[in-house]
Amino acid sequence: MEKTTKPRKKDKRSIATERAIKSCLLSALKERRFADLTVSEICRTSGLTRATFYQHYGSLADVLDEILDDMTDEMGDVPLEMCESCSGARRAPRSAREWRGMPFCHFYASRNPYQPLLEDNSIAERLIERVVDRNLDELMLSIRRRHPDTTVEMLQLRYLNIFRISGCLAAAKAAKRNGHDWSLVQPALDSAIVAALETLD
């Protein structure tokens, strides 16, 4: 019989080291795109050796994936109903815990530590797919509660949701870039998204 091994529990030092690496990567993304960063640069900023870095991560992409996991865990699930309940919201969330379960456009507008990820177009697709996959089951449940006879399949819904979140992020970025008040734009987009998802049969 094959023996299964449990993942080793991380000690405080390992947790602190990985937190430092992730923090350095997020800080570096405020100035440069992820595609332009190197392990050497992150090590130099964090004061760690390359050997220490590679004890914890195989590459910067592994660090990025862990940060994305942290972000989606903090965001929580965003079912279809959240688009409706957030329509008409007049302000962005201010504190770290206010954004849990909010639609992606609100998360983008909030003052959150993951903002550099959301601004970097070189990792936008990877980020959006991570958010979509985190919320896909809950979105399907939302649709099935409303339309028990729906024939939409999970794969179709996945790509519809990539389309939905990509569009929300692009619109929120454009509003920010042009100095427009997102709270005046967002309710109309939410209504359109909910109406479109209601047509799925």
pTM, two decimals, is 0.74
Tell me: the pLDDT tens digits for 129-180? Answer: 988 888 788 888 878 887 888 888 999 989 988 888 888 888 888 888 899 8
Distance CA 80, CA 198 (A): 10
Structure tokens at 2: 């094959």
Give residue 91's pLDDT band: very low, low, confident or very high (50, 70, 90): very low
Classify residue 29 by its DSSP letter: T
Cα Rg, the chain, nearest whole Å: 19
Distance CA 40, CA 53 (A): 9
Give residue 77's pLDDT band: very low, low, confident or very high (50, 70, 90): low
DSSP per-residue codes, 106-148: HHHHS--TTHHHHH-GGGHHHHHHHHHHHHHHHHHHHHHHH-T
Distance CA 24, CA 155 (A): 36
* Residue environment code for 52-65, b if the CB has 16+ CB neighbours within 10 A, otherwise e: ebeebbeebeebbe
